Amino acid sequence: MSIEVVGLTKRFGAFVAIADVNLRVETGELVALLGPSGSGKTTLLRVVAGLEIPDEGRVLFDDEVSTDRRIADRRVGFVFQHYALFRHMSVFENIAFGLRVRPRATRPPDAEIEQRVHRLIELVQLEAMADRLPSQLSGGQRQRVALARALAVEPSVLLLDEPFGALDAKVRKELRRWLRRLHDELHVTSVFVTHDQEEALEAADRVVVMNQGRIEQVGTPPEVYAHPATPFVYDFLGDVNLFRGRIEHGKAYIGSLEFDAPGAADREARIATLYIRPHQFEIDRVGNGEQQFRARVAHVNPAGPMVKVDLVAEWGDPVRVEVSQERFRALALEAGTEVFVRPTDMSIFTA
């Protein structure tokens, strides 16, 4: 089932949580709503679910207006950050809940409920835990139960609000890969909220970046990461170095240093901010005088696949650079080393 929101606005008193938001999620897509706290992503999800009533705008499921329909009538599966499991019920009973509370006319027979719940328990890989109470499970296992419970009512749409927010980093990573695999298997239209850019970029088909109640950019993970539409998206998705400078006829200037900036070819002289990601630099021990600036190594962190090198540029600003392990060994970098740095790529946003 596709989801479309048109001109959606929601206020809480004087605070505008979402402002004139338009978005379409195609059938079978897995979409991430990504943004900092207070950006409106959870409110948008709750409005889509029917847990909040919008002040303006419409929500359409399969091009049919659903704004006035109740949440249970929308056939929405909702998963929360804190699992929201019924603590007095076993794993089995939690998952069966949505089927057992149906009116007698639409309720499946007990044998069928049992069969469906066991299938879901298998799907979320908790076969040995069916009789346990939520308090006897780990956080990751509880969230899998919550997901199975949401899926039990065969929802047309699955909405997840910070589903991995309460879990530690390792379990988060495992679960988001598992969610991706599960989605590939089930193809239920799904929207999940996260403030973790790595999670959004790894799990989602498309990422919706939100800020202050508005959508900043919608795109596939490579699109939003490699071609951020706004300075906010650039800053929010991954580490970035900001340089205040100016651009003029295909050149960018930071102080007296001059760099090629093909993206600024037709622009007249303007004040600009240059955004350069840590991997978009080349470091050398010897200067060749071409589009380089001098810097001193302040700190080196070699843990991880890339070595993170904190530099102090010749004009005193800190610069974060990432180099491969091989390059790091070849350069023999350590605190205090003098280096020459050349940006290999940059994005420019004028004031």
Partner 1 sequence: MTAFAARVQSVCVVLCELWSTFVALTPGCEL
Q: With contacts defined by CB under 8 A, name the span among 65-73, 176-184, 226-234, 288-296 that binds partner 1.
A: 65-73
For partner 1, the binding residue among 13, 15, 70, 127 (CB under 8 A) is: 70
Q: What sign does the dihedral 325-330-335-338 (CA atoms) show? A: negative
Q: Which amino acid is at 79?
A: V
- The CA angle 319-231-249, to the nearest 5 degrees, is 80
- CA-based diameter of the chain, in Å? 81
By beta-carbon proximity to partner 1, the closer residue of 76 and 179 is: 76
Check binding of 88 to partner 1 (CB under 8 A): no
Instruction: Note whether 82 binds partner 1 by CB under 8 A.
Output: yes
DSSP 3-state percent helix, strand, coil across the chain (nearest 5) = 30, 35, 35
Q: Which stretch binds partner 1 (CB under 8 A): 67-75, 115-123, 189-197, 218-226?
A: 67-75
Strands of 30-34's sheet in order across: 76-79, 157-161, 189-194, 30-34, 206-211, 214-219
| Closest CB to partner 1 among residues 85, 204 | 85
Please give the size of the binding site for partner 1, defined by CB under 8 A: 23
Distance, CA of 278 to CA of 229 (rounded, Å)? 19
What CA–CA distance (Å, rounded) separates 139 from 161?
15
Judged by CB under 8 A, which of 57, 97, 214, 298 binds partner 1?
A: 97
Sole binder of partner 1 in the list 40, 54, 77, 245 (CB under 8 A): 77
Contact flag: residue 178 with partner 1 (CB under 8 A):
no
Query: Which residues lie closer than 8 Å to 176 by C-beta, 6 or more apart?
Result: 164, 199, 202, 203
Q: Among residues 59 and 272, whose Cβ is nearest to partner 1? A: 59
133 binds partner 1, rule: CB under 8 A: no
Question: Residues 14-53 vs partner 1: string with x where CB under 8 A?
Answer: -----------------------------------x-x--
DSSP per-residue string spanning 177-209: HHHHHHHHHH--EEEEEES-HHHHHHH-SEEEE
Tell me which of 65, 86, 181, 318 binds partner 1, using CB under 8 A. Answer: 86
Shortest Å distance, C-beta 178 to partner 1: 21
The span of 82-90, 194-202, 281-289, 329-337 binding partner 1 (CB under 8 A) equals: 82-90
Count Cα atoms within 13 angstroms, Cβ side, for 240: 21
Is residue 330 near partner 1 by the rule CB under 8 A?
A: no
Cα(1)–Cα(344) distance, integer angstroms: 44
Q: How far is the CB of 203 from partner 1 (least distance, A)?
A: 21
Contact status: 280 vs partner 1 (CB under 8 A): no
Report the C-alpha gap between 117 and 13 in whole angstroms.
Answer: 42
Q: Which residues within the stretch 102-121 sit at the binding site for partner 1 (CB under 8 A)? A: 102-103, 106
* Rounded-to-integer distance, Cα 45 and Cα 33, Å: 8
60 beta partners: 4, 65
> For partner 1, what does the binding mask look like between residues 139 and 158, x meaning CB under 8 A?
----------x---x-----
**Least Cβ distance, residue 73 to partner 1 (angstroms):** 8
CA 174 to chain centre: 16
Residues that bind partner 1 (CB under 8 A): 49, 51, 70-73, 76-78, 80-84, 86, 97-98, 101-103, 106, 149, 153
